[in-house]
Amino acid sequence: MRETAVSQQAAPRLLEWYDRLARVLPWRAPPGTPPMDPYRVWLSEIMLQQTTVAAVKSYFQRFTALWPTVQALAAADEAQVMAEWAGLGYYARARNLVACARRVAAAGGFPDRREGLAALPGIGPYTSAAIAAIAFDRPETVVDGNVERVVSRLFAVQTPLPAARRELTELASTLTPQTRPGDFAQAMMDLGATICTPRNPACAICPLMELCAARAQGIAPELPRRAPKAAKPLRTGTAWVALDDRALLLERRPARGLLGGTLAFPTTGWDGTDLAPPQDGPWEAAGEVRHVFTHFELRLSVLRAPLANPVRGEVVPRDGFDPNTLPGLMRKVWALAT
């Protein structure tokens, strides 16, 4: 059967290609060498969730300079970790990062199997498989968006995503080799990121082109198919910016929920709250910021006033304040109000 031939031939071809052309990344060991420190693999995989490689590189280098080991990160102040994370989004990841580091440090190291890794805070099915394969060379099947695209084209899977996910994972598992599974997982990611791209795939230089059913049928750019996306709902709210030459007013958001645990300007309305202004007025309109979250769009009216006698929040000195430590939404609010 064709699927058997693909399963037998794909890994050797892809690993030979990876040995020559693997991307050089700060969290990655060279092909064919012993696996990387599991701390660096774990940290990179958490950072790369919902984020691009280009965006993550500088964060990874800064984090590993500040906290070079999982023990160092476990001992870090959570507020400092949140501040360093600002801009990567999905702030629950940063809170889970600290919780996981503390659990691992207390246990004396990372579990070396997928099941043990999946029991740690913030580590789901994909991440546990990726760490097990890349850091411990376990023959786990690692399926991210790049791998879904490669597999859907390799086997010409017509079922739209997300309904196709189970089928794609099962097909991907037929490709995973018993030897060098960590290199193979990273090779699949590299193939999807550099050659088997969403638009205009470079089929002519693909190491799997002779095995690819979608290429043979002339439909590679059309796959994977996707079900139509529903329009994102719109939310609205208000942000208050109280400041003078010496200080500004921020608040620590609740640990759970949107922008959880971050320092932010006081807001209301958009996140299910119904709060009064953090100090008496008068407030003047500064404008509106727009921001897109995963599940909704936001329009936030920004009001500004001189810092007076706040009834809630934290008065933060302007001296030494770095707006880059704010979440992306709040950096937009800051830029508009100042």
Q: Which residues are catalytic?
A: 45
Altogether, the residues listed in the chain come to a count of 338
CB atoms within 10 A of CB 163: 11
Q: For residues 205 and 183, give the distance between their C-alpha atoms in angstroms, rounded to a whole number.
A: 20
Q: For residues 166 and 227, give the distance between their C-alpha atoms in angstroms, rounded to a whole number.
A: 15
Q: For residues 34 and 40, give the distance between their C-alpha atoms in angstroms, rounded to a whole number.
A: 14
Report the candidate in 207, 197, 189, 208 with the shortest Cα–Cα distance to residue 27. Answer: 189
